Amino acid sequence: MRRVAIIVAALGIAGPLPAGEADLGLPLLDIVPRTEAEAARIAAIVAPTRDFSAPEKFEENPGGAATVRAMPTADAFSQPSGNTSFEGELDFKLGNGLFTKLWVSAPSSTRASDGLGPLFNARSCQSCHLKDGRGHPPVVGETPVALFLRLSVPLKPDEEKTEIETYLASLQTPTPGTRPDPVYGGQLQNFAVPEQKAEGRMVVDYTPVEVALSDGETAELMAPTYSIADPAYGPPSDELMISPRVAPQMIGLGLVEAVPATDILAHADPKDADGDGISGRAQIVWSKEAGRPVLGRFGWKAGAPSIREQSAAAFAGDIGISSPLFPASSGDCTPAQADCIAGPHGDAETGFEIDAEGLDLVAFYSRNLAVPARRDVGDAQVLEGKRVFYEAGCPACHTPKFVTDRLTDQPEQSFQLIWPYSDFLLHDMGEGLADDRPEGRATGREWRTAPLWGIGLTKQVTGRESFLHDGRARSLLEAILWHGGEAEAARERVVSMPKDDRAALIRYLESL
C-alpha cells in the first residue's frame, strides 16, 4: 500500500489508481524486491549530507561499480561499464558499430545498411551524440545536425485520444494534448535522400542579454529565437508549435533505467505540499513494449520509458530507420508527403531496416556507456563548491544519490549506489526556457531535471561547452543563469553570492 500511496501523491490525484496500474515501473526488468532492512539502509545512504569537510564514501565513483577511470581524451564517454563481462564487452562493441554506422539510401548493395530516410536529420546516432556526449548548436555557416526542431499542433476536441491520454484522463489529470503536424510530422527533417525534398531549414537568431552579478561581475546570455525557412511542403500551420532539441549525453543511461520508479516518485511534490517552491511532477508515458503506462525517464521532457524505446524512436525520427517498435519504413513522413511515403526503403529480410537483434545491441551499448570517475573530489575549492551547491538549494531538483534495483540479468546496473544529480521529474523552469510546446504531462514551461554527472568533461568530449535543451548556454554559469520558475530562488542566490563562492560552485560542477 505504501507504493500506491507514493504514486497517488506523486501524480497529484485525489483517489487510488485504477486496478492493475499501481506500479509505474518498467515491467521488462527482472527485479528482486528489496527487503525492509535493505530499504532502511538505502534511505540512510542516500540522505543528503551535511558534512562538507571531506568527500563522502564512494563519491568518486558516480556510477557505482560500473564507473570507469576518467580518460583525458575525447573518448571519456565511450567506455563500457567498468564491471561488464568479456561477453558484455563484445556486445558493447557490436552495439557501438551500429551506433556509429552511416546509413545509406535504398536500394543499395549494402543491404544491411540501407533504408536511410527518405527524410532525415542525421545518418548515424553518433552524428548527433558527438563522441557519446552532447550535441551543440551550429556556428554561423554550419548546417544543424545535432540540433533539430520538434513539431506539433494542438489536439482538436473531436480528435481521438491516444492510449496514454485516455489513461491520464481516467486519473483526472488533464494534459494539453498535441499531435504531430499533419504535413511536417513530429520534427523538421532538414535532409532528404535523392529524388526527395527536405522539409526545410531551421534558422536560429541570438540576442545578447547582459546579467549583472555581485561584486561587479557580469555575464552575457544569448537568447535564441527559432524559425523555419524554405518550407518545401507549403507554409507551416499557424498553430504549429516548435521546440529545439540538442542531443543529450549518453553516459549512465542503464543506471537511470534501473532506479526504482517509487524512489523517483517519492521526490515528487506536484502541489508543493511542503511549501519549498519546488513542485516536481512525474511524466507518465505509454510503453509500446509493456503495453501500459510507465514512468517516463529519458529525453528532455522525460518522454521515453526505456532505452530500447528511446533508441527505436530515434532511429525512426532522426534517421528514418524502421524497427519492430516503429515499423514504418518511411520514418517521420506524413500522408501529406506522398512521394516520401512511396519512396524506396531498405530491403531487409526481417521486414525492418534494423531488426530486433540490432536494436537490442544498440540498447545494450547505450545502457552500458560508463560514467567516468570524479576528479579532485577532495580539493578544497571543490568541497567549498559542494557546500555552496547544497546551500543554494540545487539538490532540491538535482538529487545527488540513488540506489538501483537488484536485477537478476543486468549485473552492470544491479544494486549500485549512483550519483546522477537528478530527480528525473518535470519542473517549471520559467519563461526564459519555455518552449510553449506541451509533451505528454509536461507543459510548455516544464523540463526533466538533467543529470549532472560527467558535465565537467563536456568540452573535452565534444570540443565545445553547450548546455540546456537547445545548447544555448556556452558555460555552466550561463546554464545556471537561465534557470527560472521553480529554480528562480536558487538562481538568485548564485547571482548575489560572493564571486569566490560562485567560482567554487563552478569548480565543483566541473569535477562532476
Task: Please tell me what DSSP assigns to residue 473.
Answer: B
pLDDT of residue 129: 94
Bond prior to 293 in cis (omega within 30° of 0):
no
In the chain, pLDDT over 90 holds for what percent of residues?
A: 82
CB atoms within 10 A of CB 137: 21
Query: 102 in the Ramachandran plot: left (φ > 0), alpha (ψ -120 to 50) or beta?
Result: beta
Instruction: Report helix, strand or coil for 29.
Output: coil
List, for the chain, all residue ranges whose pLDDT scores fall below the cut of 70: 1-2, 4, 7-8, 11, 13-22, 139-145, 172-176, 347-349
DSSP symbols for 343-354: S-----TTSSSS
Element (H, E) at 164: helix 163-170
pLDDT of residue 346: 83
In the chain, pLDDT over 70 holds for what percent of residues?
A: 94
Judging by beta carbons within 10 Å of its beta carbon (0-12, 13-18, 19+), is residue 249 exposed, middle or buried? buried
pLDDT of residue 375: 97
In DSSP terms, which residues pair with 286 in a beta bridge?
293
The predicted model scores a pTM of 0.95
Inter-residue contact 141 to 121 (CB < 8 Å): no
CB atoms within 10 A of CB 499: 12
Instruction: Report helix, strand or coil for 496.
Output: helix
Residue range 37-82, pLDDT digits in tens: 999 999 999 999 999 999 999 999 999 999 999 999 999 999 999 9
pLDDT of residue 142: 60
**Cα–Cα distance, 496 to 196 (Å, whole number):** 54
**Cα–Cα distance, 128 to 109 (Å, whole number):** 26
**Cα–Cα distance, 468 to 415 (Å, whole number):** 30
pLDDT of residue 345: 85
Residue range 110-127, pLDDT digits in tens: 777 889 999 999 999 999
**Cα–Cα distance, 397 to 486 (Å, whole number):** 9
Q: Kindly give, in sequence order, each residue whose CB lies less than 8 Å from that of residue 129, ignoring residues fewer than 6 positions away.
A: 135, 146, 247, 248, 249, 250
pLDDT of residue 19: 47
> What grid cell was written down for 304?
521515453
Element (H, E) at 427: strand 426-428
Domain boundaries, the chain: 2-266+277-510
Cα–Cα distances in angstroms (integers) from residue 243 to residues 7, 120, 187, in the given order? 29, 17, 9
Judging by beta carbons within 10 Å of its beta carbon (0-12, 13-18, 19+), is residue 456 exposed, middle or buried? buried
Question: For residue 509, which phi and psi values (nearest 5 degrees)?
Answer: -60, -35
DSSP symbols for 60-116: T-TTGGG-B---SSTTTT-PBPTT--HHHHHHHHHHHHHHH---BPSS-S-TTSB--
pLDDT of residue 25: 84
pLDDT of residue 16: 56
Instruction: Report helix, strand or coil for 428.
Output: strand
